[in-house]
Structure 1
Amino acid sequence: MTTRNARSRLSAGMHWRSVSPEVHLGYRKGVRGGRWVVRWRDAEGSYKQETIGVADDAIDGDGEATFSFAQADRRARDIVEQRRADAKAEKDGPAPTVKAAVEAYVEAYEARQRAASGGILGRRAARGQLGRHVLTDEIADVKLHELTRDALRGWRKRLGERGLAIATVRRISNDFRAALNAAAEEHHNRLPAAFPLEVKAGLASTEQGYSPVAREAQVLPDADVRRIVAAAWEVDGAGGWEGDLGRLVLVLAATGARFSQVARMTVADVQSAQLRLMVPTSRKGKGQKVAKIGVPVGEDVIGALRPAVAGRVGSATLLERWRHKQVTPTKWERVGRGPWGYSAEFSAPWRAITARAELPAGVVPYALRHSSIVRGLREMLPVRLVAALHDTSSAMIEAHYSAFIVSALDELAAKAVVPLTTVPATVSPIKAVR
């Protein structure tokens, strides 16, 4: 069976050769040539059989339609491996697809969001981004056990060709990776052992460089931060917020924390005697983290928060706002107070605040966090301390704010500068005395 001449001397009919104990490569000789066939035993002990293609009895094999013995042998192994993977994936029902994995991930993510926020669904970016860039792509119909690193790299390439920023591509890829890793955990007995490695290699970041311009442009001087706080109180009064909006902006500016962290603060987190706010850590990452971070604040901040803590239990949410219900097309009425749900609720008031403060429209609330971090660096606080106060890592500080670290240390470094050349003495000739 291994050569064309040898097969020419075989009698008509089926001839088998063992590939492995349960896999056989067959050659069916006919009047006008032969065909390759593969036979294997499945998990139930029954034999399965599939035609590979035409043997190279008349023309040389190309590995696609016509096969030499070596090509047929390789193809037989590939077919058996694929069919066994298919059977494994379909053992408990239809084989899971990329689309199913993404939808399950989004549902689980939003369920966690609701549980953590008392039934309020916050960030919807995972559903929106994955829906636009994964579920509408050809990769959505690929079965998980057939997903390869090449297919994932192709998807990521198509993502980049849509003109998205590098940071956006990375965020979408990270959400996609999380969805696939969750599917790998759920369907571990139905997927190939190498599936996690294929996902890791296929979604690895290949874009070079990082542009910190956006972050640097959002670093505001202290005078602008004060204007924002003052404008927040003005918008608060004009809009009937009763202090809710002003206190929120003040705490964001004073702590440099993320909106999601500040929204989870409780009354007990205001430690007036110590002039300190205890800020809950973010839910980012999987490592062990402290529950809360103590951030020193001024007496002005504590004074502004006193109306929000007076007479309330320590477990109550510190920063709340009025909730409204639409009763007519033009009328809304208050239905009670509750915590801030998600950052989108803050978008419209923030635009009014920046307009009143006469700041560019592109300034985002996260500018308060950037400004707080840079303020600590310029005061020459250790990078590790700045990172701890802002619930991030030293590596992230160094990666995104390195220019400000250098500027802050210039004064200290200047003290180590010493003269390295000797100034020659001035020699004045002495006139001879006669």
Structure 2
Amino acid sequence: MATTKTTINLTNPTARGKLIARREPYWTKIQAGLYLGFRRSVDKGGYWIGRRAGEGETRYEYLNIGSDQDSAEAAGIEHTSALAKVNEWNTERLRGISDGSETVSDICRVYVEWLRISEKRGPKSAYDAEKRFERLVYNAPIGKTRFKDLKEIQVLKWRAALVEDDYEDDEEKARKQDSANRNFKSFRAALNYGVKKKYRSDADAWKSIELIPDVGASREDFLGAAQRKAFIGAMPEDLQKLATALLMTGARPGEMAKAQIAHFDKDAGILKLKGKTKKWRDVYLSDTARAFIAENAKGKIGRAFIFTRADGEQWQAHMWCSIIRQKFRPASEENKKGEGLAAKLGLPLNIVMYHLRHAYISESLAQGIDVFTVARLCGTSVEMIQKHYHKFIPSNIQERLSKVAII
């Protein structure tokens, strides 16, 4: 909850410099319901903030004024100027207008201040939003745009920059898209707050922009045996080998591309892989997988990669992504019309190498391998398996329990 400090001297730079850095501003009362605040920075100087009594359910309204320190962009704001801005802001707000000079960053900062003292949200929500805006808004072109001039194309470009076109696997894609949705929701809330407080009259620039759909949904594209054979068979020979290894082990493409001869124990039938956690795990191989990897390991020693391109170079994510994109889905419109290779082979139009890992996990679960073992072999969590592959987990628990002889 905000506290009012009436004995703090904010007029003198030396006095402000002696204040202890903290998140809650030091407030001085101008008149009933109107305050000038100063938030002391950890390094040097600080920032001026205006506060006034809100209307309706809003307890306070805030004005981001700026720093008292000189910068490359602007001179520092002295106490008299900050005080004048608060009084001017209060007069304009009483008349229900804004001068339109506020930037998107200004709106986000005012929104953060509201969150900080909100009884429903509080400091934790304010901290989360503030960190997102520091990373994605304050130093970005959109942050310097005047709020009243913000256009939909600017918001779309900003949102597009939060996500990527190519991902090494579906788990990475799901995480980044989920993160993009959370970032956009926080940003959108700040923009809506700006409209509510009459910094602009409409939300046309962002109201029609939807969240990325189906993030966190269970896996729906399952490749049957015939589809898996067609997918791998249409690849170049060197990529076929890497793809087959993925199908036999459930490894991520990047993990298998980094697998070296030293990581393969033929006698034990174990391949050591390092995943996203940077920790090694033992992948136990079927007899077929062991024989296949052993065949591709012939003539290689030590730190040589088991699977390489035809020219001997190590596989990189952009290489197989480019091949799959160009060969199976060269043009989205073409695929939508059923004319692309993916459509002709009866494959998902969004086909990627990760579908082979998906097939391994799905088949393993469907054939009775327990969730814990599948998660350990594939370097993921039990929660991830249950969330995305639950429909492949056998549900005949009563039948299996009946076969357990306890008495």
TM-score (norm 2): 0.49
Higher strand share: 1
Structure number with larger C-alpha Rg = 1
TM-score (norm 1): 0.46
